[in-house]
A and B are shown apart, each in its own frame.
Chain A
Amino acid sequence: MGCIGAKEIESAISAWVERIAAEGAERLAVIGLMSHGDLLAKRLVAGLKERGIDALYGAIDISLYRDDLDMRAEKLPLRSSYLPFSTDGLHVILVDDVLYTGRTIRAALNALFEYGRPARVELQTLAYREGREVPICADYTCFHLEPEAGKEVQVRLHEVDGEDKIEF
């Protein structure tokens, strides 16, 4: 079993912020996918602010856009998306914790485009693992994980889980 600890995650997120800052994009919005992607997006926006860069923060719940609603045994309570702005003309960085099959991102893109027409959308994730089922790839990712077949990747973030940790 693999494990990435809090220190590694912290420095990875700092490097992530540096990368976004270096790109120098204007009219930036960092939009996270619930849950966990939204927490990472919040950290990125805070990190950018420390560097004097203003980015809009948003969070979306993609449950209503999933393609597996019929197959899911349990339906979790929906959460309210937080996107108090039109995405028209914005440079959107879509943030999630793990990119795996790509289906969540497919749903997220559908959800996102109902809030406007962004000038550009990038996908950036904390981690990714092989196993794509749709033609989607990340523009930036901090950790490339290679878990054993059938193993789950679990991302824990201190805001909700009490600690920063990736187990795979």
Chain B
Amino acid sequence: MKPRKDLITIGSLSDEEINTILDSATAMKDIFTKSVKKVPALKGKSVLTLFYEPSTRTRSSFEVAAHRLSADVTTFTVGTSSVVKGESVHDTIDTLMSMKMDYIIVRHKNSGIPDVIARHCKAAVINAGDGAHAHPSQAFLDAFTIREKYGTVAGKRVVIIGDILHSRVARSTSTILQRLGAQVAYMGPGPLVPLQAHTGIPRFTNWDEVFDWKPDVIYLLRVQNERIDTPFFPAGDYHQAFGVTEERLKIIDDLDLGIMHPGPVNRGVELCDAAMEYRNCLVCNQVENGIAARMSILYHLTPQTQNND
């Protein structure tokens, strides 16, 4: 794979780059089974997590990934930083570059901020979620999880259910799955499933249509109340209309379908308790694979920080 500094969107990657990162993630996951769960690939490199939005699992997943590659990790917590004192993104970048960071992992509520940072610094920048735009590392771990479970992504049918409109996960994950030859469909509450975006993707309004489509994987999105000014549905109503209820879980079990969710799961909203225990529930696999996928991403990016001019 030719040197690439940043990972901002899946769309900017070539097929070769997507496959290289996925292939290497398999080798990264093997490291977890060794007695020494660490390799020296990024020894002496500095990784910064810069999260302007709250996140537990994505940030800690990146941190574990960086540690397993022997990098030094610094966490920039926005709530306690000078950002709350009014420092601009540009000034923050200058500050961070003075600290000689090699990799910066950014999450921001506004789309495009990671790209701005990437253009203004020599560090490799990884978009860990920008607004409703993109979340490429999630896309990689999702594709990796499907490939690991089914042997291939090509030809698989994945239906993404929930708030598509506000979801960067839906955008990035459907992009990578389609690039790898999967078929993707959406289902969710009418106002939350955009008509214009993601053309060519079938849209369903109820579970009967979903089951008729014969999917291999049901991918539930989290209901993101923090992104919606007023909740569209009471949780119980959402669960009955769009969630995996116990009755639907029986059908899913009979059809041997996989269940995925980017986490954190709202139990009783997207998934019933029993769904979390279901034999084909891949949520925990996604978490573990997230570390392997992020190790692979870090490994394959090339910061331009060698020349300190």
Contact = CB atoms under 8 A, between A and B. Distances in A.
Same complex origin of A and B: yes
Interface of A: 61, 63-66, 69-70, 73-81, 86, 110, 114-116
27 contacts: A63-B41, A64-B39, A64-B41, A64-B69, A66-B41, A73-B3, A74-B1, A74-B2, A74-B3, A75-B1, A75-B20, A75-B299, A77-B1, A77-B19, A77-B23, A77-B27, A78-B26, A78-B27, A78-B28, A78-B299, A80-B27, A80-B30, A81-B30, A86-B35, A114-B34, A114-B36, A115-B35
A61 B27 contact: yes
Contact of B27 (A73, A75, A81, A86): A81
Contact of A65 (B20, B24, B39): B39
Interface string B10-42: 000000000110011011101100111001110
A105 to B, nearest CB: 16
Contacts of A64: 31, 39-41, 69, 299
A114 B69 CA distance: 14
- In which size bucket is the chain B interface? 20 to 34
B306 interface: yes
A107 to B, nearest CB: 9
B133 interface: no
A81 B27 CA distance: 7
B66 to A, nearest CB: 14
Nearest to A116: B35
Contacts of A61: 27
Interface of B: 1-3, 19-20, 23-24, 26-28, 30-31, 34-36, 39-41, 69, 296, 299-300, 302, 306
B28 to A, nearest CB: 7
Contacts of B27: 61, 77-81
A109 to B, nearest CB: 12
Given A81-B27, A114-B34, 4 more contacts: A75-B299, A78-B27, A78-B299, A81-B30
Contacts of A116: 35
Nearest to A65: B40
Nearest to A110: B40
* 8 A-B pairs closest in CB distance: A78-B27, A64-B39, A114-B36, A78-B24, A77-B23, A64-B41, A77-B20, A80-B27
Contacts of B299: 64, 75, 78
B144 to A, nearest CB: 13
Contacts of A110: 40
Nearest to B302: A75
Contacts of B31: 64
Contacts of B26: 78, 80
A46 B1 CA distance: 34
A108 to B, nearest CB: 13
A110 B43 CA distance: 14
Given A75-B1, A114-B36, A69 B30 contact: no
A95 B27 CA distance: 21
Contacts of A80: 26-27, 30
A94 B72 CA distance: 32
A86 B26 CA distance: 20
A70 B36 CA distance: 23
Contacts of B28: 78
Nearest to B3: A73
Nearest to A62: B39
A79 B306 CA distance: 27
Nearest to A84: B33
B40 to A, nearest CB: 6
Nearest to A66: B41
A95 to B, nearest CB: 20
A65 B27 CA distance: 13
B46 to A, nearest CB: 14
Nearest to B39: A64
B3 A114 contact: no
A70 B306 contact: yes
A77 B296 CA distance: 9
